[in-house]
């Protein structure tokens, strides 16, 4: 029923700093999520090398049979990507909202160490609220 299945945040070296699952079938253990995050980081970089024209910033949308993956890369190299149902249009907006929450509740947190896993309560709280609001607006239509 979820529009979003999961959210990953990767630091600029490709390490996973945040992972939240919102309803995929089957469990993914920590090691698997770490591996997938690093794999995505590398493929994002390789896709820039294969571009036919200059100025490529990496994969923004990956479309598969059963899901879509939207990725947003900030100017500092931090990547936010969501796995969601195929065909959802407004994910770019949601990713920007998540990025704003990240800057407000993680980066401005004086106890947060850069590039380390995110353990900020306020971030989790506000993130759940934002996802909930998004889900309601999606299904309310």
Partner 1 sequence: MQFFGGSSVAEIAPSPAAPPGTATGLAGNNANMLYIFNRSGVCLLYREWHRPLHTLDPQQDQKLMFGLLFSLRSFTAKMDPTSVDKGNLGVPLLPGQGCSFYSFRTNTYKLSFMECPSGIKIILVTHPKTGDMREPLRYIYNIYVEYVIKNPLYVHGSPIKCELFNTNLDQYVKTLV
Residues found near partner 1 in the complex (CB under 8 A):
5-6, 23-26, 28, 32, 35-36, 39-40, 42-43, 46-67, 69, 83
CB of 80 to partner 1, least distance (A): 15
Q: Which residues contact 134 (CB under 8 A, 6 or more apart)?
A: 3, 4, 94, 97
The total number of residues written for the chain in this structure: 141
CB of 53 to partner 1, least distance (A): 5
CB under 8 Å, gap of 24 or more: what pairs does 16-23 form?
16/117, 17/115, 17/116, 17/117, 17/118, 18/117, 18/118, 20/127, 22/131
Kindly tell me which of 50 and 110 has the beta carbon lying closer to partner 1: 50
Kindly tell me which of 69 and 106 has the beta carbon lying closer to partner 1: 69
72: nearest Cα among 87, 83, 82: 82
CB of 99 to partner 1, least distance (A): 17
User: By the 8 A CB rule, do 77 and 84 touch?
Assistant: no
Kindly tell me which of 62 and 130 has the beta carbon lying closer to partner 1: 62
Kindly tell me which of 54 and 75 has the beta carbon lying closer to partner 1: 54
Three-class SS of residue 3? coil
CB of 44 to partner 1, least distance (A): 9
């Amino acid at each position: 029923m979820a529009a979003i299945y999961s959210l990953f945040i990767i630091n600029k070296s490709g390490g996973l700093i945040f992972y939240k699952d919102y309803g995929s079938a089957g469990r993914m253990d920590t090691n698997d999520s770490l591996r997938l995050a690093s794999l995505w980081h590398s493929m994002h970089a390789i896709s820039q090398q294969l571009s036919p024209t200059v100025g490529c910033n990496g994969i923004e949308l990956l479309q598969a049979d059963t899901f879509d993956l939207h990725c947003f890369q900030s100017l500092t190299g931090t990547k936010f990507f969501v796995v969601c149902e195929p065909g959802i249009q407004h994910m770019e907006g949601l990713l920007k909202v998540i990025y704003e929450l990240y800057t407000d509740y993680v980066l401005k947190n004086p106890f947060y160490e850069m590039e380390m896993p995110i353990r900020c309560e306020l971030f989790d709280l506000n993130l759940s609220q934002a996802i909930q609001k998004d889900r309601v607006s999606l299904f309310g239509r």
